[in-house]
Protein backbone atom coordinates (compact mmCIF):
# COMPACT_ATOMS: atom_id res chain seq x y z
CA UNK A 1 0.00 0.00 0.00
CA UNK A 2 1.29 3.43 -0.89
CA UNK A 3 1.74 5.69 2.06
CA UNK A 4 -0.25 8.89 2.04
CA UNK A 5 -3.22 10.52 3.56
CA UNK A 6 -6.40 8.52 3.70
CA UNK A 7 -9.48 9.87 1.94
CA UNK A 8 -11.07 12.77 3.75
CA UNK A 9 -12.79 11.30 6.85
CA UNK A 10 -16.56 11.06 6.74
CA UNK A 11 -16.71 11.40 2.96
CA UNK A 12 -18.03 8.47 0.99
CA UNK A 13 -17.11 8.48 -2.68
CA UNK A 14 -18.81 6.47 -5.40
CA UNK A 15 -16.91 3.59 -7.04
CA UNK A 16 -15.57 5.74 -9.86
CA UNK A 17 -12.16 4.06 -9.89
CA UNK A 18 -13.68 0.59 -10.24
CA UNK A 19 -16.00 1.69 -13.04
CA UNK A 20 -13.23 3.40 -15.01
CA UNK A 21 -10.91 0.39 -14.63
CA UNK A 22 -13.74 -1.92 -15.76
CA UNK A 23 -14.32 0.39 -18.73
CA UNK A 24 -10.63 0.19 -19.62
CA UNK A 25 -10.71 -3.61 -19.33
CA UNK A 26 -13.67 -3.81 -21.71
CA UNK A 27 -12.16 -1.61 -24.41
CA UNK A 28 -8.73 -3.24 -24.10
CA UNK A 29 -10.36 -6.67 -24.41
CA UNK A 30 -12.15 -5.46 -27.54
CA UNK A 31 -8.87 -4.18 -28.97
CA UNK A 32 -7.06 -7.43 -28.20
CA UNK A 33 -9.87 -9.39 -29.84
CA UNK A 34 -9.52 -7.27 -32.98
CA UNK A 35 -5.72 -7.55 -32.97
CA UNK A 36 -5.90 -11.33 -32.71
CA UNK A 37 -7.40 -11.47 -36.20
CA UNK A 38 -4.90 -9.19 -37.91
CA UNK A 39 -4.15 -8.95 -40.79
CA UNK A 40 -7.57 -10.44 -41.59
CA UNK A 41 -10.89 -8.73 -40.84
CA UNK A 42 -12.22 -9.66 -37.40
CA UNK A 43 -15.89 -10.39 -36.76
CA UNK A 44 -17.19 -7.19 -35.18
CA UNK A 45 -20.16 -8.12 -32.93
CA UNK A 46 -18.07 -9.20 -29.92
CA UNK A 47 -15.74 -6.18 -29.91
CA UNK A 48 -18.69 -3.84 -30.51
CA UNK A 49 -20.43 -5.32 -27.47
CA UNK A 50 -17.26 -4.95 -25.37
CA UNK A 51 -16.67 -1.36 -26.47
CA UNK A 52 -20.32 -0.48 -25.87
CA UNK A 53 -20.12 -1.92 -22.36
CA UNK A 54 -16.91 0.03 -21.76
CA UNK A 55 -18.52 3.24 -22.99
CA UNK A 56 -21.55 2.73 -20.76
CA UNK A 57 -19.34 2.11 -17.73
CA UNK A 58 -17.37 5.28 -18.50
CA UNK A 59 -20.53 7.37 -18.85
CA UNK A 60 -21.85 6.02 -15.54
CA UNK A 61 -18.54 6.92 -13.87
CA UNK A 62 -18.61 10.39 -15.44
CA UNK A 63 -22.17 11.00 -14.22
CA UNK A 64 -21.22 9.88 -10.70
CA UNK A 65 -18.15 12.11 -10.82
CA UNK A 66 -20.16 15.10 -12.01
CA UNK A 67 -22.53 14.75 -9.05
CA UNK A 68 -19.79 15.09 -6.46
CA UNK A 69 -20.36 18.28 -4.53
CA UNK A 70 -17.36 18.89 -2.33
CA UNK A 71 -14.39 17.56 -4.18
CA UNK A 72 -10.89 18.79 -4.97
CA UNK A 73 -11.85 19.78 -8.51
CA UNK A 74 -8.82 22.02 -8.94
CA UNK A 75 -6.48 19.09 -8.32
CA UNK A 76 -8.64 16.76 -10.45
CA UNK A 77 -8.45 19.11 -13.45
CA UNK A 78 -4.77 19.80 -12.89
CA UNK A 79 -3.76 16.13 -12.93
CA UNK A 80 -6.42 15.00 -15.41
CA UNK A 81 -5.70 17.87 -17.78
CA UNK A 82 -2.01 17.06 -18.15
CA UNK A 83 -2.77 13.36 -18.50
CA UNK A 84 -5.40 14.16 -21.13
CA UNK A 85 -2.88 16.25 -23.06
CA UNK A 86 -0.41 13.35 -23.05
CA UNK A 87 -3.03 10.82 -24.13
CA UNK A 88 -4.37 13.06 -26.90
CA UNK A 89 -0.85 13.05 -28.38
CA UNK A 90 -0.53 9.28 -27.96
CA UNK A 91 -3.97 8.58 -29.45
CA UNK A 92 -3.24 10.95 -32.32
CA UNK A 93 -0.09 9.04 -33.18
CA UNK A 94 -1.88 5.69 -32.95
CA UNK A 95 -4.71 6.97 -35.15
CA UNK A 96 -2.15 8.13 -37.70
CA UNK A 97 -0.59 4.65 -37.69
CA UNK A 98 -4.01 3.12 -38.34
CA UNK A 99 -4.64 5.45 -41.28
CA UNK A 100 -1.16 4.94 -42.74
CA UNK A 101 -1.68 1.18 -42.37
CA UNK A 102 -4.78 1.63 -44.55
CA UNK A 103 -7.28 0.53 -41.92
CA UNK A 104 -10.70 1.46 -43.29
CA UNK A 105 -14.42 1.33 -42.65
CA UNK A 106 -16.04 -0.12 -39.58
CA UNK A 107 -12.76 -1.45 -38.22
CA UNK A 108 -11.19 2.02 -38.26
CA UNK A 109 -14.28 3.51 -36.64
CA UNK A 110 -14.28 0.89 -33.89
CA UNK A 111 -10.56 1.25 -33.23
CA UNK A 112 -10.99 5.04 -33.09
CA UNK A 113 -13.74 4.70 -30.49
CA UNK A 114 -11.53 2.32 -28.49
CA UNK A 115 -8.69 4.86 -28.54
CA UNK A 116 -10.99 7.72 -27.54
CA UNK A 117 -12.48 5.86 -24.59
CA UNK A 118 -9.01 4.79 -23.48
CA UNK A 119 -7.77 8.40 -23.82
CA UNK A 120 -10.57 9.54 -21.50
CA UNK A 121 -10.35 6.66 -19.02
CA UNK A 122 -6.73 7.25 -18.01
CA UNK A 123 -6.98 10.99 -17.22
CA UNK A 124 -10.20 10.49 -15.24
CA UNK A 125 -8.62 7.62 -13.32
CA UNK A 126 -5.45 9.57 -12.54
CA UNK A 127 -7.27 12.81 -11.71
CA UNK A 128 -9.78 11.11 -9.43
CA UNK A 129 -7.14 8.96 -7.74
CA UNK A 130 -5.15 12.06 -6.78
CA UNK A 131 -8.04 14.42 -5.99
CA UNK A 132 -9.82 12.00 -3.68
CA UNK A 133 -6.98 12.38 -1.17
CA UNK A 134 -7.04 16.19 -1.24
CA UNK A 135 -9.12 18.55 0.82
CA UNK A 136 -11.86 20.20 -1.23
CA UNK A 137 -11.15 23.86 -2.02
CA UNK A 138 -12.54 26.17 0.64
CA UNK A 139 -12.83 23.50 3.32
CA UNK A 140 -11.15 24.12 6.66
CA UNK A 141 -7.95 22.19 7.27
CA UNK A 142 -7.52 20.35 10.53
What pLDDT digit, counting tens, does each position of 56-73 carry? 999 999 999 999 988 999
Provide the domain limits for residue 30: 16-131
Three-state secondary structure readout of 36-70: HCCCCCCCCHHHHHHHHHHHHHHHHHHHHHHCCCC
Neighbours of 67 (CB within 10 A): 9
pTM: 0.85
Q: Considering the domain boundaries, does residue 11 fall inside one? A: no
Determine the pLDDT at residue 3. Answer: 45
As for how many domains the chain has, the answer is 1
Neighbour count for residue 58 (Cβ, 10 Å): 23
Helix (H) or strand (E) holding 127: helix 105-131
Does residue 140 fall inside a structural domain? no
Look at residue 9 and tell me if it is in a domain: no
Domain membership of residue 26 (yes or no) is yes
8 part of a folded domain: no
In a domain, 136, yes or no: no
Q: Give the per-residue pLDDT at 137.
A: 75
pLDDT band for position 4 (cuts 50, 70, 90):
low
Nearest to 57 by CA among 124, 126, 129, 132: 124
Residue 42 inside a domain? The answer is: yes
pLDDT at 1 over 70: no
Amino acid sequence: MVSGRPPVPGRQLPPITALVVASMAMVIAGGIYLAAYLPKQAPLPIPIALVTAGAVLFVVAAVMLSRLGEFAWDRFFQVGGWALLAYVVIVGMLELVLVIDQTRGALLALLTVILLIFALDIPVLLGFSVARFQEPAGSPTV
